[in-house]
């Protein structure tokens, strides 16, 4: 008697887990759908998506590190000189920076001497 009850519960759980015709699961033997035109990542484009994301992450990291160094040099200059630098070249001349960092491709480094803020912007 207990084995029939257990068998009935197991069968009910199996049927409920598999779903019926109205469920969103695809029938066995059918090919999986691809997201090729939907803009979502897919297995087919995963290597390309990964390399693109890796390149963007590296560019963003370089931009962040270089910009942090420039802004730190600006603040140090302001603290020691009592004023903001006229331009970024003054930071190099006064040895606060070894050189003006080269921004990533497609961007440029802007400095506003009125606010003492350096930014990386798209060209």
CA 62 to chain centre: 13
The token pair that represents 69 in the structure block: 């160094």
This prediction's pTM: 0.55
Query: Could you state, in order of their start, the residue ranges of all structural domains in the chain?
Result: 51-123
Beta bridge partners of 14: none
Average pLDDT over residues 69-75: 94
* Tokens 């606010």 found at: 115
- 40 pLDDT band, cuts 50/70/90, is confident
pLDDT at 33 over 70: no
Note whether 56 and 67 are within 8 A (CB). Answer: no
Distance CA(47)–CA(39), nearest Å, equals 15
């Amino acid at each position: 008697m207990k084995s029939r009850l257990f068998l009935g519960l197991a069968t009910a759980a199996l049927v409920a887990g598999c779903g019926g015709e109205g469920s969103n699961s695809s029938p066995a033997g059918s090919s999986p759908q691809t997201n090729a035109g939907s803009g979502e990542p897919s297995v087919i484009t995963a290597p390309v998506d990964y390399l693109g994301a890796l390149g963007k992450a590296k560019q963003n990291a370089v931009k962040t590190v270089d910009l942090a160094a420039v802004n730190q040099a600006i603040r140090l200059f302001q603290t020691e000189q009592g004023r903001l630098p006229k331009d970024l070249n003054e930071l190099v001349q006064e040895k606060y920076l070894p050189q003006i960092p080269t921004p990533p491709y497609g961007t440029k480094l802007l400095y506003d001497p009125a606010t003492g803020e350096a930014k990386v912007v798209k060209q």
